[in-house]
Structures are given as C-alpha cells and as structure tokens.
Structure 1
Amino acid sequence: MNSPDYPTLYQVNTRVRLRQLSDQLNRPTTLDDILDTELDEWVNLGFNWIYLLGVWETGILGQNVSRTHPGWRREYEELLSDLQEDDICGSCFAITRYRVSELLGGNEALLRLKKRLQQRGLKLMVDFVPNHTAIDSPWVEEHPDYYIEATVDDLKREQLNYVQIPLAGENRVFAHGRDPYFPGWPDTLQLNYNNPAVPKAMLAELLQIAQLCDGVRCDMAMLILPEVFLQTWGMTTELFWPEAIEKVRNQHPYFVFMAEVYWDMEWTLQQQGFDFTYDKRLYDRLRDRQADPVLKHFWAEINYQSKLTRFLENHDEPRAAATFPPGVHQAAAILTYLCPGLRFFHEGQLQGFPKKISVHLQRGPQQLTDPTLASFYNRLLACLRLPVFHHGTWQMLEFQPASEDNFTCHNFIAFSWYGENKWLLIVVNYSPDSAQGYLQIPFEDLQNKTYKLQDLMNSADYERQGNKLLSSGLYLDLPAWGYHVFDVK
C-alpha cells in the first residue's frame, strides 16, 4: 500500500525509555537494547512514524543550568519526590552537536534501529533545532560570529536574555535563544541568521541528519522566519526553509519536515515546504470546551488541514489526562485523531498518565494506567488502522434542529470518511449538555436501501432506511460529550 496521506506518529522520550530499560536490566543500555517486541508492538498499534525525542549530544554546561535553575528545579522536585542529581541530564533541546549521544550508542546505534524500524514499515523522526545551540556548543569557540553578540549594558538591562562567556582571554556577551514573547532559554545561545554563514552551516547539519532518519521535527520553526527574526532581534535575514528543504529533498526525495509552529503561521510554513505543521489552535479550542470554535476550525480548506499535526499532548503540553476531564478527553480525542492530518500520540498518553516529564530529566515517576482511557485508546487505534482514515475522502457534515425550539444541534460536530470500501460517520456532541438533531447525509445513492450503522467505539447498532436518511436525515440524541463512530453498511 502507498504511504498514508494521514499518518500516525508515536513520540518516545528516548532518554527516559533507556533509563527504564537500564533499571530493568541493571546495566547501561543503548538504542540497541530496545527489543524487537517493542517495535512489533508499535506496528500492532498502527503507528507509521516513531519520533525519538532527545537523541543528540548535550553538554555539561547545559546540564549545570538545568540542575541549578530554581524554577526548573521546583518542577523536578514536584514530579520526583526522590529526585537525584543524576536524574537531571539537561534539556534535549540544548544541543552541542548533531551526533547521537554516545550514551545512547552513537550514530551507529541509531542507524541500526532505523533499519529495524524500516523492516517493519516504520519511519524514524528526530529533532532539528534551527534557532539556537547549547551554551557549550563547539561553535561558540570555533565560530563565535555564528551567534548574536551584545554589550555589558544589554546584559545589565536584560539579565535573563544575555550571558557573559570567557573567550580567548576576554569576556564577551551573547544572547540566549528565545522567542519575542518570553525570556531567553538560559542553557542556549541564539544563532545569528543575519550572518550568511549560519544558514549554510545549519543546512550542512540538516543534510547530515537526513542520512540518519526519515524526517525531522523542527523545533520552534517560525523563529527563523525573516519577519519573526526582525521582530525579535531587529535584524534582516533571508528565507531559510524553502532552500533548505529543497536541498535536503534533492538528496532524500521522501524526507519529511514537521514544524513546531504557533501564532497562526502554519500556512506560511506549509507554503515554504513543510509537510506538516503543529495545530495548536485546535488543541486550544478543544481545551476551552466550546463547540463553535472547534467546528469553524474544521471549515478550513482540505489542502491546509491535511498538513496539520493533530495532538492532545506532547513533551511541551501538559498531559491530556490532567487537562481534559473524563468524557471531555474522549470526545476531544475523537475529533483530534479522526480528522485529516498527521495524528501525533505521546508516550504515556495511551495509558492515561497524568504527570508530564520535563525535557531536562531522564527519569519519570511511576504512574498507574487508567483502565478506562487505556481501553478507549485501544479502540481508537483499532479504528485508525482502517485504511479509509489514511487514504479516504473526508467531508464535513451539517445538522438540522430536532424541533423549532431546540438548537442543541449546534453543539454537534460531524464528518464522514469515504473510500477503501468503507463509509464512516463520526459525530461528537462537544458540550456539557445533551444534544439532539438530524444529521444531513449528502449521498444520493441511499435510495431504496437499508443501512446498518455499527458504532466502532461503543455498542450502539442501528438499522435505518436510506429513503428516510435522504428525506429527513439521521436523528441523533447524544449525552454530554457523547460520540459515535459509525461504520455504515
């Protein structure tokens, strides 16, 4: 079968996973110690992509910042009551070199894992951080001109955004990596894209990375757009992404780029060549628990929506089980993962773990599986294994009121998938109240046929006459946060 138009991705916190294996085996472990049975389980769950978070080298200075930062340390102590210094390994986004950490087995171990994934039809994604490097990257000494320098006055005025570093016998001030709305990341230094050597150097890094994997998640990809860089640093730059993506694809035609992006800049990055862009707006609207903004979100053009990365949690967001109450969680997941786009699942999400693990840590707490959520996600992933969700045609559907004075149908969100010898109807009442209405079925070939509607997520099972469906629609009465995933036969 062809590569899916709408793939499913599973994010693994690599350093935490290998620490778990080390504890089990009572010895240091590398990527080679991830068992084939675990890879087979990823296949059985229906994933197409495995995204390994945190494979690159990080440094001692970054680790020291992670260990001494008061706010971050409070977060670790709240998560781990038995916190040890060794648990704090440093942020996986404070990268010194794009070489797989020797603690994980180096580049060679990643290539061996990639081969094992490929044998199972799985593709491998890793991180690329275009905006900054670790504070102790070798580039700081080798190419200090790659970074944004400042003055002692800048440091005095904005202590959170600048740092003094001794270089060649003198103290020089450099900017921390940051976005325009928050203080700098103190374990990083900001790359200067106003220097033409920087985009060339970062392209060279990308080309090296592309030899090790099948795709990259580009961290905060919008920060190096000329308009954002100008806003943040007052410097003009050239476009980076279109040329970089083209040159990587000249050597690796099927290489995939996924952008972490915010501030309504998703379409901009799609136009510059990204295959997928984060859909934070859908997440925010689902979290706010209002049906109308979610419904309108799905009105966007399919060419745009098909390139959105849909998620309920990831390493940056809080756990879905801690954010969405029971019932709301399931309804939000149906809408998130049964619409077009790339479906992004986070390690621990399928078990309903409530505690988020900091990217500065290599150990997480013991967490109990929520049996209700685990059962729900098992059924949802079984649905997602149907080819129609990856290759079919998606269409939004409309509702009519159940009566003249009942407008609860406005709380329904519904769409269909058609193709691959399947016809599916997805309906969600995204509200805290019951809702009634007539779902309008826009297919003319229903006439003079009887249809069976079997819910793939629940036990509901109905028979309906095609003529009735055409004339008045499918009547539905759903409780608060109720949903159906009908297989129509």
Structure 2
Amino acid sequence: MVPGSRPQDYPDYFVFAFPLSVDAWDRYAVEALLPPGLAAAPADPAWEIRRLAARLVQERPDGPPAEVLLALRTLNQALRFVAVRYFRHDNPGSLDRGRLWAARRLGDSGVAGVLGAFVDLYPPLDVRAGRSDTPGFLGDRSGPLTGDDLATIELLLLYLNVGNPAAAPASPLFADDALRQRVSYVPFVTIFEDYLAEHEAPGSEGVSILQLLRAPLLASPGSLFGQLAYIRDHWGHLLPDDLLRGLQLALDVLREIDLHRAAGPGGPAPVLEFGPGRAGWQDDRPEPEAFSNDAAWMSNVVLIAKSVHVWLDQLGKRHGRPFTRLDQIPDQELDRLAAWGVNGLWLIGLWERSEASRRIKQYMGNPDAAASAYALHDYRIADELGGEDAWRDLSERAGRRGIRLASDMVPNHMGIDSTWVVEHPEYFLQLPHPPYPAYRFDGGNLCDTPGVGVRIEEGYWNRSDAAVVFQRVDEGSGQARYIYHGNDGTSMPWNDTAQLDFLRADVREAVIRVILDVARRFPIIRFDAAMTLAKKHYQRLWFPAPGDSGAIPSRAEHGMTREQFDAAMPLEFWREVVDRVAKEAPDTLLLAEAFWLMEGYFVRTLGMHRVYNSAFMNMLKLEDNAKYRQTLKNVLEFSPAVLQRFVNFMNNPDERTAIEQFGKGDKYFGCMLMMVTLPGLPMIGHGQIEGFTEKYGMEYRRAYWDEHPDEDLIRRHERDIFPLMRRRSIFSGAEHFSLFDFEGDGGWVDENVFAYANRGPEGKALIIYNNAFDRTSGRVRLSSAINTGSAEQPHLVRRSLAEALDLDTSAGTWHLFRDHLEGCEYLRSGEELAGDGLHTPLNGYQARALVDWRTVRDADGSWARVAAMLRGGGTPDLGRARRRLQLEGELAEVRSWFPPALLSWLEAAAVPAPAGTPAARVAGPATGPGKTKKPVTPAVPATLTTPITPITPPLPDQPRELDDLPEGLAAWARALHQLPATVAALAADPGLGARTRDDLAGWLLALPGSRGLEIAYAAAVLRTVRRPGEDRRLPRAPVPPADADLVAEDLTTVLRDWSGHDYQATRDTRLAEAVALGNDAVRSLAAGRAAWLAEALAMPAFANAAGVHVHDGIRWLGKEDLESLLQVLLIEALSLPPTNDGAGQAARITALFDARDLILAAAARAGYQVDVLIAALAGPGPA
C-alpha cells in the first residue's frame, strides 16, 4: 500500500487506520502480526492486514477478505484526513467548543467518561505499547491536536464505521457493544454533531463536517467500492497525491475480488473495430503499419489440427494396430490429407511435458491423463512420441506431399517442474511470501529433481480454492519462492504452469532463443495465448496501472504507472520476435492466438503473419450475421490487408467441436464454405471432417468416445468443400476482395446473407450464403466501402459486381459461370451484370459458389438464344446447351427414331412364357452371392424333352412408325421383336442338348420386366452416333459423334416420358450407352471369354452401367446393375448370326452362358469388389 496517507503531524492512533478494539487486539493476537515493540504503525501494512483477515476467516468462514480490510483502511484514512483538515485549519478550536457544549448537557464527568472509556476500549498505539496510559494520553498537549482532540476525532470515526453497512463484515474488529454498555457515547456524538451543525462554520463543501464525512456512506451504503469511488470523484481535490494513489489502489484490489466473484462465461463477441475511436485505442500508444511479407507458400495454407496422442490412438483403431510414435503415422493418412487440400498439419502436444502436470491431472480424477500439452518441461520432441528422429521422419514424408508441419510455442509460461523452474527460478514472477496468508503448501513434492521442492496450494487438492501461486523451495538453503501460475485473467490460474517475468530482459532473450530454435524445425509456429504478452495486456494482468487492475488477484499491490512499465519493458516483445525470426529463421509462418480486440494490432503493427479471428466462429454460430458483416466492413474500411491475415475456424481445441456448434447440415456446410473461401487461413479442427463430437482435453492420451467417421459427411466435404480448398489462390488474398450488400426484393438489405467476390491467379469467384433459416431473394450489385489508401490516409471506393470480378461489360459480351455446389452452369450478359448485378433466390442456409467464370463474344447470337431458352436458370453444361440449339434439327430427327409405340411393341414381345412350358419351370440366372443356376436334375427329364411351342400369345400389330425408320434400324427392331420367339424355339430343339436349352429357357424367363429389348434397340441408335459405319446394317446418324451425349440426354427424356420413371430411364440409358460401346464385349461374351470384363470396366460408360462406385477407398460393383448389364449383352450376343453347324451353335450358346455364370459367381465370391473380381478373372481358369 502507499505509505503515509495521514495528515501531517497526526500520530498513528490505530495501527491499521481503521478502529481496533482492545478485544480485537487480544482475540486475534494482533501484536504477533507486528514488529516487536509496537514502535510505530507499519508504513505499508498490507501483509499484516492479509494475515489479520486470515485469522478472521479462520474464526468465521464468512469473515471479510483482506481486500475489504485494505479498503476499509483507505476509507478511514480519507475520512480522517478531511476531519483533521477541518478541525485544524478550517475551524480551529471547534473541538474544544463542542466538548464544552456537550459538557453543559452531560456534565464534565460525562464527557471525560466517554473519552476515557473510548481510549480504554480502543487504545491508541502508545497506550497499547505501554508508553502511556489513558489519563496521560488524554492530557497530552504537546502536539497540534491535544489527546482529547485525537480521542474525539477517532470516536467520531468509530461511530461512522459502526453505522456503515459496507463495513459490517469487519465489525468484530471494532464492535461498540462494550463502549455502549460502559458509557453513553451515542448521546455524546449526537450532541456534538448537533452543535457543529448549528453553531460552527460549515465545511468546505457547504455542509457540517459530520454531514460531509457521512456523505460517501449515504451515497453507497452497501459498497466500500462505491464509497471510495465517491471520495475519489467528489473529494479528489481535497486529498494529497499519496492518499489518492492509495485510494485508487484500494479500488483496484476491490475490483479484483469483484471480478473473480463474477467470473463466468463471457458475453457475446463484440464487433471488431479499428483505428482511433475504437474500444481500447490509446492515442499515446502508436500503432504504425508494419505488416510482415508473406512468402509465396504462406498465402494458401490450409491448416488442420491434430491432438497428437488422440490421433495416434484413432489411427491405431482404424488400422488395427497400435500407433504411439510419429514415424508410425501411415503414408496413406498423409496422402488422404493432401488429397483433401490440406497443406499444413498442426500437431498439438509434441513437446516434452511436465511430469507434475500429469500427476495433478491424474490425482484430480483422470488416471489415464497425460500432462497438459501446454504445461511444458522442455522444448524437445517427447520421447514417447519417438523423439527427434520420429519427428524428422514424419516431417520429411509430409513435406514430400506438400504438407508443412506446425508446432505450438507456449511463450507465456512453463510447467511448474520445468527445466527453467529448476535451473532459473529467477525467470518467473514471484514473491518472497504467499500473497495470501491462508495459503498452505503441505502436499507432496511434485518435482523429481533432487534438492528442489515444488508444491501447489492445498486448495487445489480439495477443490476449495484456486491459488495464484505455487511454492518452489531450494531444499539446500531453505529459500522459498512463491511463483505465480500462468494466468490470462479470464478464469482460474493454470495450476500446472509457472508465469515468466517478461520485465526481465534476460527472460525475453531466452524465450526468443527458444522461438528461433522452434522456427528452425517447424515452418509454421502457433503462439499460444499470444495476447497475454502484448505490453498493454501484460501490464494489465501483472503490473496494472492505477484503475486498471482486477484481472489477477493480488497483483494490484504490484502495479506500475505507464511510465514505470515502459521503462522496464520498452519494446513490444512480439515485434522483437517477428524481427528476429525474419532475420535468423526466415520462411517461418508466425501465427498468433490472440483475442481481446487485438487482432488488427497483432498483424498490422506487431507483424504476425496470421492472427486468430474468433469472431468468425462465435458470430456465425449464433447467427449474429449483421455483427459479422459489420466486422468485415470495418476491416475493409480500415485496412483490407488485415483480412487476409485472419485465421478463420469453426472450433478451437479448447472450444466445443464444430459439429456440436454448427451441426452437420446445410448451416455447417455454408459456414465451412465461408471458412475456405474468405481471405486468410482456414483452420480445420481435429475430427471436424469426420463428424466427431468429442472435445479432446489437452491431457487426453486417447479418444474416450467410440466414434466412427461419418462417411456421408466426408463425401459431402469431398464434393462441396475440398475442390475449393484446392483452389485457395482464388480466395486467400484481400487485394481484389469485395463484400456486397444483398439487396432484398423489398428494397432492404438482408443482413443474414454474406455475398463477396474475389479473384486470383486461378480465376474468380462469387460466394453467396444465407446464414439463416428463412428463405430470401435479392440481388448482388454494389460492394461496401473499401479502403484503397492507407489507414492514415484512407481512400474509400465501392465496386460494382462487374468491377469486382473484372468483367467485360460491352455489348455482345456474355459471361459463363458454374455453381460449384449445384453443378449447373449459368449465363449472364455483361450489360446485365453491370447494371442489375446478379439476382438469386436463397433457401434457408443455402449457399452458392459461382466459379469458373469465362467470357464469350456472341458473334452469331447463339448465346443470346441459350439465355432466352434458360430464362435465368442453369444447365449442367452451357456448351452442350448451345450445341443443342445449333443441332436442333438433327437431334429432332434422331429423337424420331425412338417412337413410344415402338418401345411398347418391343416391351410386349418379352411376355412371360405360357404356364406349363419348360421355360416357366427353369431357374433364371444367379441371384445370390456365390449361387449359380441349378441344372435340372435327371429326376425330371421331361422338362428337357417336352417340346416348347414358340410364343404364340397375340402380339400388337407392327407399329406404323416402324415404316418411318431408316431401314437398318427397322430391321434391327424387327429382329429384336422376333428374338424371344427364336430363343423359345431354340430352347425346344432337342438337338441343342439339355444344358443349352436350360440356359436359354432361364434367360427367356428373366426377359419380361428387364426392358432388355428396348435397351438393345436404344443401344443400336446410340451406336449410329458414337460409332458410325461400324455396323453396316445401321444408318449413319446426322449428329456428329462428338455430340453423342446430347442424343443420350434425349434418350433419357424419351424413356422417362414413356415409362414414367425418372431413375429407371436414367439407368436404362446408362445400360444402352455401355452396350453401344461394347461390341468387343459382346463378341467376347459370345465367344465365352470372361476376362474381357477387366478391360470393359476401364471404360467409364461401362463402369457406370455396372454400378461401379467407391466407398472407403474400395471400388465396388452394383450386383443388380451387373446382372442387368449382362442380360442386355446376352440379347446382343444371342442376336449374332447363327452358325450352320448345330453342334457349333450349341457350343456357342453354352459358352455364352458359361461366361455369364462365371462372372456372376466370381463377382459374388469377390464380395462385388471390382479389383478382387478382376484379379480372379485374370487368374488361372476359363478366360
């Protein structure tokens, strides 16, 4: 506390300035707290007062904290100063006159009795020390104020203290019960006060002195803080500087306990502001522009976080073997990250951790816990992770895949048993005694180094308190140090850490050397809790300026003025770090975890390459969309370069997971889209892509929840997000970034919609996202203000959408672009984009990612025709849409080759075989895994010898449209129509043999409902386009082969209109396309060769028809798709010209069905895995 703070020549009456009864002296053994002899009151009795408070709390748990007693001391000092000034200077002699007035009413003995009883029961220091007695003290006339005067003033102050509700917690120190019982002191005070009010001059404030002294108590009856604040605000001009400083310090220590009693979750995230006038701006603390330059690779970093122990545990479960070392991380996992578009891997928990931290966490309830990843023993790769060699192996393998490793650096603190605590205890913030006397350090030693004792305070073990210091003892000399725990002032201290003292130049240099060592090993460094070391906040936390305390208990008493602090720490530590790294370890990306509205300062003035942007997560999660849009606008109006230095994330390791905060639906993917398309650095959380919801503590060795990757979530990332992550150069910079208002159709700005444009070397993009449940509609036309000047000399401009995307807006110019999320392409004229912008409706949480912009000149008017046809809508391929218009007549002619009547005619030809015929009794093709068609047993030979009558049910007459077809197609249609009857006749021919007839009958039974004849016809039409002239029996189509996909689209439409089934039409078209390309496959199948399938599946159309898809990195076949494909191929094969030799015909048909059965059986045995099936067909056996 500040020394002095009492009127000049005024003796110490009470040792702590507030009244202290003789009972309290004895009851709380006050003399034992003071130096021997009681020569004088301590100049700064803060420690003694804390010990006294501890004794009160020991007697009574609800007793006052030391901060209350310290404040009460200051309150009495101020009241005493004003009282003495009045009685000595403003109205001398009034004390004598007042006592005489009281004597007339109470008698001389009454007044003397009151004052004598007061001195007896509330002894001044000299009386308590035995240097005087009550009569001697009261009769003393040696000073400016007599003993009677002193006793009268202190009696009045006692009366005020007893009547002060805010002082009630300390009442055991000065309760007036004994005084009331002994004398009538209250009537004396009342008479004395009445006299002063009626007969003496008022005080300097125009009221009686007692009214003046009572004013702070009446202004804030229940709060010492309020009373002291009143005195500061109303009496400041009356008080000396030392007392004002003491007053401010008392307010600061009260603020400490008020803040920590009210500690809890923070409020909503504030809008980020920049420049003069913003929150926290100090005109006398310059913030010059001093950005660090990015190396070429830095701009496009996409970082993913992995808690290393948890990741190793999860990889072990995934791969079926334990992983504990960095060099055991499989290449395929690195390949997977690289394929996603990740090029930065942040490994949390690499360094050697504090053993004390592990013991604390295990004792506190998690026997499986490791030490915290942020309570470090030393900066070397942990031995349990394989040490430096394992790290080097992983680093090299990741580097070959374009992935740079990132590491934490924890500059603020070390573990409580770290190498530095053992070897350099002077590096840490400390006191020679505990800041609170109640602290006890009786637990076990947490340090394994001989001769050093490290103990945390007992309250941590029993969960009763969160001490701000731990004890470090040199067991040789017995010297004890009480070192502060690391602390950011937002919650409890980090009880496994020791706070470094950055006022020491040797500490700053030692930390910088560690940073340089880390930078030589890791190209990306994340600085944990970096904001705590900015000068502004380091002073606020640990050496608070007057009026700025309260963050960390007990530190108000160690405060400094701004000038004192600047002298001790003249430069910003982070500026020193940035400059040294740039010189000694260049090409290192420095990333700061910094909050507290310091984001712009960290990158623009301190020179960090990147800084956390927690507003992104907090505001989008809560849908505070207007606030986040305002944040972006503020950045753009101040310094757009700040925007490209933000780290955007949807969860931080100590936050709830992204899935828990954002879900797994459209809102999650909309915010994820923004994260990977805004300027800056996207940071993906551990398990975010896989959909994990467990929050991994920094001490976790493993995942405790049995979670499995959400494959659907991963696939949607692969479809919607990763392709854009791999194109970060479009989005990462801010030079061409523009933020737009979304002008709703009603003329208002929809603050829920984020619309922004950007461009880079790989193209340009417009992103639009509605972060709200409600549907909306509007246009993107004009950007918000953008500062193209400097922060000091701003030049604000607004860009039209066309300007932002650098679009040609001249007449006849059209712009094509693709919605990456929807898969459609769109077309707008340059004139429309320049004037009206882009209009779009948006469902709740819908996003649009408009990329792949390209410009065309409409020389022939075809693009205008396409735009008129689409009427603002999209199409999968604008080039095809334009080509469709150009080939409108030719396509119409080919469509005429698919008359619905023809399709129905072919469908009717595949009627079921009549009941009782062998075809109705013979099993069809294999339908289950590993099953093949069962041959007819000898027990029923009649099924092989009973003649099969050709199919005779009445068939529709030949459709009239058949005559309008080209002759080759008409002939093919007739052949297909006759095929079932031909096969039925063959199945009845005894000369073919039982097995061949059995195969044919089974195929015939499966034909109805397969649409095989219609698909075979469609394949022939497609073949006329894709492979003109190959089959001389077929006509040449008027559509070029390059445009065959347009014919396939029309085929799908025809089949859908004819059947009424969209999916079935799409599937049938895929089968037709495969057959149209598969003449070789048909001939191979007809020749009985099954191995052709491997080559066929290499063709996309064939693989698509066979239902080939990828799941968990494995290619799979669709069982039903494969069976349908083989059924249609059999139609083609059976339609090949027959041989003249009956035996040869039978052999050909048998080989055909053998090949089919071999494929189906092999596919079943392969579990429908493509690669396993191909290997089986390529091995020994029939081919």
TM-score by length of 1: 0.91
Correspondence list, 1:324-363, <5 A: 324-325=662-663, 326-363=665-702
User: CA offset at residue 438 of structure 1?
Assistant: 1.4
Q: Does 1:480 align with 2:844?
A: yes
| Counterpart Cα distance in 1 of 2:513 and 2:744 | 61
Report the equivalent of 1:80. Answer: none
Report the equivalent of 1:154. Answer: 436
Report the equivalent of 1:411. Answer: 752
Q: 1:245 to 1:395 in 2, by over 3 A?
A: closer
Query: Secondary structure of the residue that 2:521 maps to in structure 1?
Result: coil
Report the equivalent of 1:81. Answer: none
Q: 1:391 to 1:120 in 2, by over 3 A?
A: farther
Instruction: Map Cα deviations across residues 440-486 of structure 1 (whole Å, 9 max, x no partner).
Output: 12335133223333211224443333322222221111011111001
| Structure with more relative contact order (C-alpha pairs < 8 Å, separation 6 or more) | 1
Instruction: Map Cα deviations across residues 33-90 of structure 1 (whole Å, 9 max, x no partner).
Output: 1122222222211122111111000122110122233xxx4xx7xxxxxxxx23x112
Q: Does 1:311 align with 2:592?
A: no
Correspondence list, 1:148-187, <5 A: 148-150=429-431, 151-154=433-436, 156=438, 159-168=466-475, 169-187=478-496
Report the more deviating stretch, 345-354 or 164-173.
164-173
Q: 1:112 to 1:93 in 2, by over 3 A?
A: same
Report the equivalent of 1:291. Answer: 625
| Counterpart Cα distance in 1 of 2:358 and 2:427 | 22
Q: 1:354 to 1:204 in 2, by over 3 A?
A: same
Q: Does 1:435 align with 2:795?
A: no
Instruction: Map Cα deviations across residues 155-202 of structure 1 (whole Å, 9 max, x no partner).
Output: 637743122233333443211100123221011111111222211111
| Counterpart Cα distance in 1 of 2:747 and 2:713 | 32
| C-alpha contact 2:355 2:377 (8 A) present in aligned 1 | no
Q: 1:363 to 1:304 in 2, by over 3 A?
A: same
Report the equivalent of 2:358. Answer: 63
| Counterpart Cα distance in 1 of 2:344 and 2:385 | 20
| C-alpha contact 2:298 2:589 (8 A) present in aligned 1 | no
Letter in 1 for 2:644: S
Q: Does 1:34 align with 2:329?
A: yes
TM-score by length of 2: 0.39
Report the equivalent of 2:731. Answer: 389
Report the equivalent of 1:129. Answer: 410
User: CA offset at residue 261 of structure 1?
Assistant: 0.4
| C-alpha contact 1:256 1:275 (8 A) present in aligned 2 | yes
User: CA offset at residue 434 of structure 1?
Assistant: 1.0
Q: 1:371 to 1:446 in 2, by over 3 A?
A: farther
Letter in 1 for 2:650: L
| Counterpart Cα distance in 1 of 2:579 and 2:479 | 41
CA-based RMSD of the aligned residues comes to 2.3
| C-alpha contact 2:742 2:749 (8 A) present in aligned 1 | no
| Counterpart Cα distance in 2 of 1:248 and 1:422 | 34
The structure with the largest strand share of the pair is 1
Report the equivalent of 1:466. Answer: 830
User: CA offset at residue 26 of structure 1?
Assistant: 4.6
| C-alpha contact 1:311 1:337 (8 A) present in aligned 2 | no
Report the equivalent of 1:323. Answer: 661
| C-alpha contact 1:165 1:172 (8 A) present in aligned 2 | yes
Report the more deviating stretch, 466-475 or 387-396.
387-396
Q: 1:436 to 1:252 in 2, by over 3 A?
A: same
User: CA offset at residue 402 of structure 1?
Assistant: 4.4
| C-alpha contact 2:644 2:733 (8 A) present in aligned 1 | no
User: CA offset at residue 419 of structure 1?
Assistant: 3.2
Report the more deviating stretch, 204-213 or 336-345.
204-213
Letter in 2 for 1:43: A
Report the equivalent of 2:519. Answer: 210
Letter in 2 for 1:304: V
| Counterpart Cα distance in 2 of 1:166 and 1:307 | 45
Letter in 1 for 2:737: Q
Report the equivalent of 2:863. Answer: none
| Counterpart Cα distance in 2 of 1:202 and 1:436 | 54
Letter in 2 for 1:200: E
User: CA offset at residue 260 of structure 1?
Assistant: 0.3
Question: Which of 808, 815, 823 is residue 451 of structure 1 equivalent to?
Answer: 815
Report the equivalent of 2:592. Answer: 259
User: CA offset at residue 324 of structure 1?
Assistant: 1.5
Query: Secondary structure of the residue that 2:766 maps to in structure 1?
Result: strand
Q: 1:183 to 1:310 in 2, by over 3 A?
A: same
| Counterpart Cα distance in 1 of 2:373 and 2:389 | 19
Q: 1:135 to 1:400 in 2, by over 3 A?
A: closer
Q: Does 1:280 align with 2:614?
A: yes
Aligned identity (percent) is: 25
Which has the higher Rg, Structure 1 or Structure 2?
Answer: 2
Query: Secondary structure of the residue that 1:5 maps to in structure 2?
Result: helix
| Counterpart Cα distance in 1 of 2:735 and 2:759 | 5
Report the more deviating stretch, 385-394 or 120-129.
385-394
| Counterpart Cα distance in 1 of 2:828 and 2:764 | 15
| C-alpha contact 1:96 1:137 (8 A) present in aligned 2 | yes
| Counterpart Cα distance in 1 of 2:391 and 2:690 | 27
Q: 1:473 to 1:275 in 2, by over 3 A?
A: same
Letter in 2 for 1:217: R
Report the equivalent of 2:399. Answer: 118
| C-alpha contact 2:677 2:732 (8 A) present in aligned 1 | no
| Counterpart Cα distance in 1 of 2:835 and 2:322 | 68
| Counterpart Cα distance in 2 of 1:154 and 1:377 | 54
User: CA offset at residue 390 of structure 1?
Assistant: 4.2
Letter in 2 for 1:395: F
Question: Which of 560, 579, 582 is residue 249 of structure 1 equivalent to?
Answer: 582
| Counterpart Cα distance in 2 of 1:124 and 1:40 | 14
Question: Which of 712, 715, 730 is residue 375 of structure 1 equivalent to?
Answer: 715
Q: 1:106 to 1:407 in 2, by over 3 A?
A: same
Q: 1:471 to 1:248 in 2, by over 3 A?
A: closer
Q: 1:268 to 1:392 in 2, by over 3 A?
A: closer
Report the equivalent of 2:501. Answer: 192
| C-alpha contact 1:397 1:416 (8 A) present in aligned 2 | yes
The structure with the largest helix share of the pair is 2
Query: Secondary structure of the residue that 1:177 maps to in structure 2?
Result: coil
| C-alpha contact 1:392 1:418 (8 A) present in aligned 2 | no
| C-alpha contact 2:742 2:755 (8 A) present in aligned 1 | no
Letter in 1 for 2:606: Q
| Counterpart Cα distance in 2 of 1:131 and 1:421 | 41
| C-alpha contact 1:397 1:439 (8 A) present in aligned 2 | no
User: CA offset at residue 95 of structure 1?
Assistant: 0.4
